[in-house]
Amino acid sequence: MNFASDNWSGATDAVMAAITRHKDGFVPAYGADTLTKAIAERFSEMFEKDVAVYFVGSGTAANAISMAAGARPGGLIFCSADAHLYNDEMGASEFFTGGMKLIPLPAHNGLIAPESLAAGLSRFPADSRTGVPAMLSLTQASELGTVYSVEQIGELAKMARARGMAVHMDGARFANAVAALGASPAEITWKAGVDILSFGGTKNGCWAAEAIVVFSPERFGDLEAIRQRAGHTASKARFIAAQFEGYFEDGSWLATARHANLMAGRLADGIRASKTARLGWAPQANEVFAVLPKAAIARLRAEGAMFYEWPAEGVAPGPEEDLVRLVTSFATSEQEVERFLGHL
Q: What part of residues 71-100 is at the interface with its own copies (CB under 8 A)?
A: 72-75, 86-100
Nearer to its own copies, 46 or 306 (CB): 306
Q: How many CB atoms lie within 10 A of CB 258?
A: 18
Binding positions for its own copies, 144-163, rule CB under 8 A: none
Nearer to its own copies, 117 or 234 (CB): 234
| Contact pattern for its own copies over residues 201 through 240, marking x by CB under 8 A | -xx---xx------------xx--xx-xxxxxxxxx-xx-
How many whole angstroms separate alpha carbon 188 and alpha carbon 190?
A: 7
Q: Which residues pair with 198 in a beta bridge?
A: 170, 212
Listed residue (293, 309, 308) closest to 343, CA to CA: 293
Nearer to its own copies, 84 or 258 (CB): 84
Least Å distance between CB 172 and its own copies? 9
DSSP conformation class of 106: P
Q: Using CB under 8 A, which of 14, 35, 36, 60 touches its own copies?
A: 60
Q: Which residues pair with 111 in a beta bridge?
A: 108
Least Å distance between CB 16 and its own copies? 5
Listed residue (258, 268, 269, 311) closest to 290, CA to CA: 268
Q: Residues binding its own copies: what is the number (CB under 8 A)?
A: 78
Least Å distance between CB 4 and its own copies? 7
Give yes or no for a contact between 156 and 138, defined as CB atoms under 8 angstroms apart. Answer: yes
Give yes or no for a contact between 47 and 190, defined as CB atoms under 8 angstroms apart. Answer: yes
Give yes or no for a contact between 296 and 322, defined as CB atoms under 8 angstroms apart. Answer: no
Listed ranges 42-50, 53-61, 105-113, 289-297: which one lies at the site for its own copies (CB under 8 A): 53-61
Least Å distance between CB 25 and its own copies? 6
How many whole angstroms separate alpha carbon 95 and alpha carbon 68?
A: 9
Establish if 266 lies at the interface with its own copies (CB under 8 A): no
Establish if 57 lies at the interface with its own copies (CB under 8 A): yes
Q: How many CB atoms lie within 10 A of CB 303?
A: 12
| Contact pattern for its own copies over residues 9 through 28, marking x by CB under 8 A | xxx-x--x--xx-xxxxxxx
